[in-house]
Structure 1
Amino acid sequence: MGNKAYFLSFLIGFALILSLKFASAQMVPAIFVFGDSLVDVGNNNKLPVSVAKANFPHNGIDFPTKKATGRFSNGKNAADFLAQKVGLPTSPAYLSVSPKSNSAFMTGASFASGGAGIFNGTDRTLGQSIPLTKQVGYYESVYDNLIQQQGLSGAQKSLSKSLFSIVIGSNDILDYSGSSDLQKESTPQQYRLHASGARKFVFAGIGPIGCIPAQRIKNQTDHGCNEGSNLMAVSYNKGLNSMLRELKSNLTAISYSYFDTYSLLLNIIQNPATYGFAEAEAACCGRGKLNAQIPCLPVAKYCPSRRDHVFWDLYHPTEATAAILVDAIFDGPKKYAFPMNVRQLVAV
């Protein structure tokens, strides 16, 4: 009996040590994620009319549960890796949480939605996603909930130390109509977030979307990158940087880290072996040319070694690529993360 009691005490002590270790590793109170399929962790699963879903095989084949979760990836995505970096569980998908669960958003929430854009009309054809304006509206509901739980001063203190990650814009370019001004449209959402407690922002620029498999197959001869799409991405990123500088001058209390996704991902694509990849053009999962003519559906084929591929499907990076990108924004030099990286942002 004494040995059992000793063993039980040992287990309890060990559990306490582990919990203290996790608590000490937690760097921010919460993470709130806004964006598109690059960071969607399951919101689109709850949209009944949406066809932009990833809740079926072969998605999730390398996720810890080995099951599809709604992430457009073979495993974890950037939202998961960012949460790991700051010692938090992945922020839950807003639509998957019961409204009766008052403490559900204490460590954050994800409003990201596959197919989402900055403009309300980005997805007007299928109506399959949650646009940025609605995502911010959902956050404002969470803000009210946090005030009820913590009081106004408590909620604002917690939120001022939390991270607000925004990864969006690619779908606007892919659906570009030639008549929209992204810079002007995006600004009001950042002011709304600021008014609801946000102070530390993580912005990801658009990557070289002309080099994704879905764009490469449009070049019938050499499967090179679509330079027109890449030029639009560069233009958008310049506008975003200009907006951020203006936002900082008007709202001096905010701080931000901007990640130059374009430069690093293009470097990975052009020099894949340097980063441990063998294939930077074709998707791992799909069918047809570059595995990009048919999406990653259950009937599709997938590569045996996902770590060898930069792209998982015709649009999205593999888990391995997402991990490299998050490493760079979290601890990288100003070449990729400026005016500071996320570790520095957390310390502000």
Structure 2
Amino acid sequence: MHNTSLLVRKSSLTDARLATSDSAPLTDGQVRMKIHSFALTSNNITYAAFGDAMNYWQFFPVAEGEWGCIPVWGFATVTESLCEGVKVGERFYGYYPMASETVLLPSRLNAAGFSDGAAHRRELHAVYNQYLRCSTDPLYTPDTEDAQALLRPLFITSWLIDDFLADNDFFGARTMLLSSASSKTAYGTAFQLAQRPGVEVIGLTSASNVAFCQSLGCYSRVLTYDQLDQVSMDTACVYVDFAGNAQLRHAIHSRFAKLAYSCSIGGTHVEQLGGAKDLPGPRATLFFAPAQIKKRHADWGAEELGRRLQQAWHAFLTQAVSPEAPWLGVQRHQGPEQVLHAYALVLAGRGDPRLGHILSLE
């Protein structure tokens, strides 16, 4: 048996290659998972861009230190098991390498699934180490696996951003500026914010994506990046930065004297990522979704947190895959060469915002 994976050079994300290795034999307690499909979005590019700073390279380490394997969300089936409580044939949703298979060490097994107990993952955040049994997962529906892989991890972040802002009373502002407005995490956040009374949600995007963003119906207004002058300078606002564009961040901080909070989510504009030093106004603060999950787990308890998230997810998914006007279409990429091509496409940010990319190295 062989395992094929896509590796990228950590210092130069445009440098990617395919690697094939023999499958290692299992040791006691391990399971082998065949990875059927995974989503590739700008969120995964963010994982790579912040790979060292946020420990994303540590999940699936590569022997050659200058190379890394980008984590992705998807579905896999157990093909071999030396772990009591995990059966061959079971299907799991979770955090996988860009590969055709992976080996995990299940720990903390329960009806919902397990955590990977591998030594190199023990210090990493628990949210990324969980693998959920599709047979018992309340957010799982078998006919929407592609949409789940594409939208679910992003929407959970969106839901938490909205919850974090509401939890802080929007820092006293009522206008939210969202960059990279056509990205899935941004429009998931806008979908949630649009349900908040009295909150204006302004989407910032490139000229080519204005019509798409307007068609979603969850932005109060959609502006191009050079139309900031259409928002009054004395507007009390919050900037939710999905782009990571240093020039845009500086323009917003410079223009709005009443900028109440600056929240940095990711880096879809990889070539323009920059520091946040010497900015006027509030410090640009990186949003870390697991911290808000931990807070709400303490505030509400696991059951209530799950109930609220499940309700919001199903409402969003229904809208996103609506047969009448779907927000998302799926483009599949099968096989190593197609996966390599899809990675280059997503990295360059040239994709159609209505399309989501589902990949398989099988």
Question: Fold conserved (TM > 0.5)?
Answer: no
Higher helix share: 1
TM-score category, normalised to shorter length: under 0.3
Give the TM-score of the pair, scaled to structure 2. Answer: 0.27
Judging by fraction of residues, say which structure has more strand. 2
